[in-house]
Structure 1
Amino acid sequence: MKKIVLLSLALAGIQSMQAQLMQDKENYTRGDTLRGSLRTERNFDVREYHLNIKVDPVKKHIGGYNRIVFVPQQKLTSMQIDLFENMDVDSIVFHGRQLPYRREYNAVFIENKNGFQKNKKDSLTFYYSGNPIAAVRAPWDGGFDWKKDKNGKPWIATAVQGTGASAWWPNKDHQSEEPENGMTIKVVVPNGLMDVSNGRLTGKKDLGNGYTRWDWKVTNPINNYDVALNIGDYVHFGETYKGLDMDFYVLSYNLEKAKEHFREVKPMMDCFQGKFGEYPFKEDSYKLVETPHLGMEHQSAVAYGNRYMKGYLGRDLSGTGIGTKWDFIIIHETGHEWFGNSITSSDIADMWIHEGFTTYSEVVYTECRWGYEAGQTYVNGLKKNVRNDKPIIGDYGVNKEGSGDMYPKGALMLNTIRHMINDDDKWWKLIKEYSETFRHMIVDTEMVLNFFEQETGLDLEPVFDQYLRHTAIPVLELKREGNGTTYRWIADTENFNMPVDVSVNGEKIRLHPTEKWQKLDTPPKGISVATDRFFVDVKVGN
């Protein structure tokens, strides 16, 4: 398990890209708690997974086992492993004997009257089979995506963020848990097809029964929802670029198209490694894998389904024209390798840590390629996608994320903090140190806040609180008073304070508003608030 630190469907022009997990609930069930909370039965660290399954495309059936290597943090007589209730548990074997178990919702409670011993490294093998849930509209609903390519050959992928990795393989399905020593993934598929999974290909074996097994090894810790199968008529090309192995797996008939289109990966890697630090999974290589669904940030095997188009299926989410200069899925999903896969939130309530930073990586790439003004134009174009419908931070302990505003609003908050700092050398140093300091770690909002405050010396708690825990953005109220103007913040956060730049009769100055009225010797009509650099509203009164 990673160290725990204490301290995307788009409706173009209407709303932002959102994670597939956006399902509002008025009430939570015990099933939500079993999935979302770290209960006693989950008080163990996973060290390794060894997944070995067979996929039958005709019957849409899978079967096999997962050997789980773990260390209990206390003596446990019952251990919770998650597997969706529609899947069959064939047996659970521990030291050569089958253990009894009981099922409740999507949780499997494995009983051991002798107990799993505290701090003792051990393992069990979980055999299972069944027809996993099929995604109707992957990746926006989770499960197996059973498709065929244009030649009629099976083309299959998994995409389960939010839905849960336990939709198709047994594991400790909580976002804070990642196997410390990585995992092996062995997938048996019909001859003539290839499976591409995470990590590096270590071999393949013709089993002599019409099936071939493809073996993959992941060295680094990995999010459960990132573990992926991609099965199809794939061909491979790749190269080593500045010390990083880059591999591309595409449908055979798209090879030449892909070779041309994926040229964008090199300037992207130059940009991201320059701004965020070395690619965080170098040992496992970087891969793009063509998929029948739009895309997903599957660690070291980024799913790509943008049909070799610029923008988001040819559209610009910013509405500025800049978003069609680059391939949205390549840039956004690869940005997740740093923000989401390397730095992972401990609870999906804090998913803004994944999506806000990764949406900001789109701004970073734009700035790397076309300059600061282009980046600012792009990020400001995202404002139209902010709905301010509910807080960005969701409910903890019940597997519930917050508003889809975590994408654009999260990026706009970061852009605001950048301009609060008002020193780009410090800003880029901060972002890089954040990425490198918490490489391969589990984090939460408080950790991010504490780090940003420590490194900047700024009081950022009111800013984080307002943008992340409340619906509205801060409003700078200007009111004419005599020949001048009084001004203050209107915000939900008590004692809200945040500097903001304004132009007074053409001269740029910095104000330090609070919730109390302050005076400026210029009438409102002579004041222009820098809303292009600070994500705030302005209210002008008489």
Structure 2
Amino acid sequence: MNLSIKILSTLFLFLIASLSYSQETKFTRADTLRGSITPEREWWDLNYYHLALEVFPETKSIKGTNTVRYQVKKAHQVLQIDLQEPLRIIDAKQNGQKLEIRKEGAAHLISLPKKQIVGAFEEVIISYEGQPKEAVRPPWDGGITWQKDENGNHFIASSNQGIGSSIWWPSKDHPADEVDSMLISVTVPKNLMNISNGRLRKTETKGQTKTYHWFVSNPINDYGVNINIGDYVHFSEKYQGEKGVLDMEYYVMRDNLEKAEKQFMDAGRMMEAFEHWFGPYPFYEDSYKLVEAPYLGMEHQSSVTYGNGYRNGYRGTDLSGTGWGMKFDFIIIHESGHEWFANNITYKDVADMWIHESFTNYSESLYLDYFYGKEAGQEYVRGTRTRIDNKLPIIGRYSVNSRGSGDMYYKGGNILNTLREIVNDDEKWRKILRGLNSEFYHQTVTTAQVEDYLSMETGIDLSSFFDQYLRNSSLPVLEYFYSDEQTLQYRWSNCIASFDMPIDLELGENKIRVIPSTKWSELKVSKQTDVKVDLDYYVGSFRLR
């Protein structure tokens, strides 16, 4: 490994580690307002947004409105909308009447004089303006990125998964409630284009500006909404997928067209592999787009952003150290995998972010499996283990906008690969992965729902499995020894008391499956032989004597 690769690898590990939370974290009232389903959020269900804004590149500012349509679920008269400073809400109106707003940090509590009747649909129109936070280290430390391309044209994009959609537009900034559909109208200088989610309905030119109207017909998580502004050129292809013809659209900087036409061939290969493993692409109605961005990339729904430099691997490096990571463009494969796990199946609480990242990390190996064979995928998964810390749990704290540790990526992928070994039936495993995307189609979910589904479909009680791997940071170790020539003793250690995962062993030329517990068990054998643990299980092993 040369010095530049070492530096890039260290930087990536640092960025992933920055997702980890400290067990000593002190949470604030602001964390609760952001991360919980407050009484001011609970009573109304999002139906539709019309986000309309103008972007002023020279002053790095924006101004606009968001029309929020909702259905009343139960009687309440105060509605919470979030918008982070330095942006400010100018006013909020319902039926033309200006509403009183009480601000508490980013939370804006809007009093509604009109009686809110259960079952009724209502609208609030929010006007806002200001200079949004500039992204420092996108996409990890998000906001708006303001750059220029090599020709001096403005190159602008949003990225806000961690920091929240309310960093640049007023929203119900909590993942539990996805809007059913959305119109995004963005006005930019007329020499530039804006690419957002969904399909382009129309453009309107007025003086020196041009407005792009994008419509999203499927439910969308708030952090998946994006703007991408620049001197784009466009090319496309038609993909014959499981649900018919899928429009695959590509938007890149003018000078990168030739490179993109070659590199973006990975997008069609991705779609073939992931429809095989996960089921139909979840947003045929809104198309699939891959959009060049002035940062590494992000899984914005139907508008996946790309900044990997038109090269394979992660910025030209193999995160697995096996060579297999150089067979694909990491950002195209990983960020597009999120269309199934993050955008189709979305966490209800950020604490369950593993649902997004573990499955999507695992999708990288399944891509290799599909095109290069199972052992290629297995080698890739095993290679990523050097990046696992095993210091903090994968699941974070609930109701305070707290993510779990960065182990949700590489450890998460290895956990799912271990589960595949337990199932020991690859076609059944594929049906389970496809079933997840069918059962929870366009839904927000909890870890409990995913765990219960996997237990039901595998026919195995996986409660202790997930307690160990998601809620405990230690790596289980299989301890064993021969008590005599024909008796093998074994047990699980370094784990929770209830851990009882089955595991496959090689005893000489024989392959067997045992179900250890944390108490010693014994197995009669014909003679004492070497014991080898199946390498595709993410565990440790230790011979005592």
TM-score grouping bracket, smaller chain normalisation: over 0.9
Aligned to 1:99: 99
Q: Match of 1:152, SS? A: coil
Aligned to 1:537: 540
RMSD over equivalenced CA pairs, Å: 1.7
Matched, 1:510 2:513: yes
Matched, 1:527 2:531: yes
Q: Distance in 1 between matches of 2:274 and 2:13?
A: 26
Deviations 1:50-98 (A, max 9, x none): 0000000010000010000011221222111000032111110110110
1:21 shift after superposition: 5.0
Task: Report if the CA contact (8 A) 2:390-2:473 is conserved.
Answer: yes
- C-alpha change, 1:219 and 1:416, in structure 2 (3 Å) is same
Matched, 1:184 2:183: yes
Aligned to 1:409: 411
In structure 2, give the amino acid aligned to 1:378: Y
Aligned to 1:3: none
Q: Distance in 1 between matches of 2:427 and 2:112?
A: 56
TM-score normalised over the length of structure 1:
0.95
Task: Report if the CA contact (8 A) 1:132-1:143 is conserved.
Answer: yes
In structure 1, give the amino acid aligned to 2:47: R
Task: Report if the CA contact (8 A) 1:15-1:386 is conserved.
Answer: no
Q: Match of 2:317, SS? A: coil
Q: Distance in 2 between matches of 1:315 and 1:514?
A: 40
Selected match of 1:451 from 446, 449, 453: 453
- C-alpha change, 1:19 and 1:35, in structure 2 (3 Å) is farther
Q: Match of 1:79, SS? A: strand
Matched, 1:232 2:236: no
Task: Report if the CA contact (8 A) 2:21-2:404 is conserved.
Answer: no
Deviations 1:102-135 (A, max 9, x none): 1111100001244433221000100000000001
Aligned to 2:3: none
In structure 2, give the amino acid aligned to 1:251: M
Q: Distance in 2 between matches of 1:50 and 1:383?
A: 44
In structure 2, give the amino acid aligned to 1:528: K
1:12 shift after superposition: 4.8
Give aligned pairs, total.
531
Matched, 1:310 2:312: yes
1:154 shift after superposition: 0.4
In structure 1, give the amino acid aligned to 2:500: N
Q: Sequence identity of aligned pairs in percent?
A: 46
Task: Report if the CA contact (8 A) 1:189-1:212 is conserved.
Answer: yes
Aligned to 2:29: 30
Matched, 1:277 2:279: yes
- Larger RCO of the pair (alpha carbons < 8 Å, separation 6+): 1
- C-alpha change, 1:54 and 1:406, in structure 2 (3 Å) is same
Task: Report if the CA contact (8 A) 2:20-2:392 is conserved.
Answer: no
Matched, 1:290 2:295: no
Task: Report if the CA contact (8 A) 2:85-2:132 is conserved.
Answer: no
Matched, 1:111 2:111: yes
1:19 shift after superposition: 8.5
In structure 2, give the amino acid aligned to 1:539: F
Q: Distance in 1 between matches of 2:37 and 2:17?
A: 23
Task: Report if the CA contact (8 A) 2:480-2:544 is conserved.
Answer: yes
Q: Match of 1:520, SS? A: strand
Unaligned 5+ residue runs, structure 2?
1-6
1:495 shift after superposition: 1.9
Task: Report if the CA contact (8 A) 2:15-2:140 is conserved.
Answer: no
- C-alpha change, 1:279 and 1:19, in structure 2 (3 Å) is farther
Task: Report if the CA contact (8 A) 1:42-1:79 is conserved.
Answer: yes
1:506 shift after superposition: 2.6
Task: Report if the CA contact (8 A) 2:192-2:232 is conserved.
Answer: yes
Selected match of 2:492 from 474, 489, 493: 489
Deviations 1:20-54 (A, max 9, x none): 75564610000000000001100211000000000
In structure 2, give the amino acid aligned to 1:234: Y
In structure 1, give the amino acid aligned to 2:73: Q
- Of stretches 81-90 and 338-347 in structure 1, the one that deviates more from structure 2 is 81-90
1:368 shift after superposition: 0.7
Aligned to 1:217: 215
- C-alpha change, 1:147 and 1:221, in structure 2 (3 Å) is same
- C-alpha change, 1:524 and 1:49, in structure 2 (3 Å) is farther
Taking the TM superposition and a 5 Å limit, the aligned residue runs for 1:254-273 are 254-273=256-275
1:10 shift after superposition: 7.3
1:437 shift after superposition: 1.6
Aligned to 1:372: 374
In structure 1, give the amino acid aligned to 2:311: M
- Of stretches 150-159 and 261-270 in structure 1, the one that deviates more from structure 2 is 261-270
1:515 shift after superposition: 1.2
Matched, 1:200 2:204: no
Q: Distance in 1 between matches of 2:13 and 2:184?
A: 37
In structure 1, give the amino acid aligned to 2:251: Y
In structure 1, give the amino acid aligned to 2:533: V
Q: Match of 1:298, SS? A: coil
Q: Distance in 2 between matches of 1:383 and 1:440?
A: 32
1:441 shift after superposition: 0.8
Task: Report if the CA contact (8 A) 1:75-1:117 is conserved.
Answer: yes
Q: Distance in 2 between matches of 1:278 and 1:297?
A: 17
1:18 shift after superposition: 2.7
Q: Match of 1:389, SS? A: coil
In structure 2, give the amino acid aligned to 1:37: S
Aligned to 1:68: 68
1:539 shift after superposition: 2.0
Q: Distance in 2 between matches of 1:266 and 1:256?
A: 17
- Of stretches 343-352 and 80-89 in structure 1, the one that deviates more from structure 2 is 80-89
Deviations 1:429-468 (A, max 9, x none): 1111111221101111111111111111111111111000
Task: Report if the CA contact (8 A) 1:20-1:141 is conserved.
Answer: no
- C-alpha change, 1:279 and 1:14, in structure 2 (3 Å) is closer
Unaligned 5+ residue runs, structure 1?
1-8
Task: Report if the CA contact (8 A) 2:451-2:463 is conserved.
Answer: yes
Aligned to 1:399: 401
- C-alpha change, 1:158 and 1:26, in structure 2 (3 Å) is same
Q: Match of 1:488, SS? A: strand
Task: Report if the CA contact (8 A) 2:477-2:539 is conserved.
Answer: yes
1:11 shift after superposition: 3.4
Task: Report if the CA contact (8 A) 2:190-2:209 is conserved.
Answer: yes
Q: Distance in 1 between matches of 2:514 and 2:359?
A: 27
In structure 1, give the amino acid aligned to 2:463: E
- C-alpha change, 1:16 and 1:363, in structure 2 (3 Å) is farther
Selected match of 2:501 from 484, 498, 503: 498
- Of stretches 487-496 and 298-307 in structure 1, the one that deviates more from structure 2 is 487-496
Task: Report if the CA contact (8 A) 2:252-2:291 is conserved.
Answer: yes
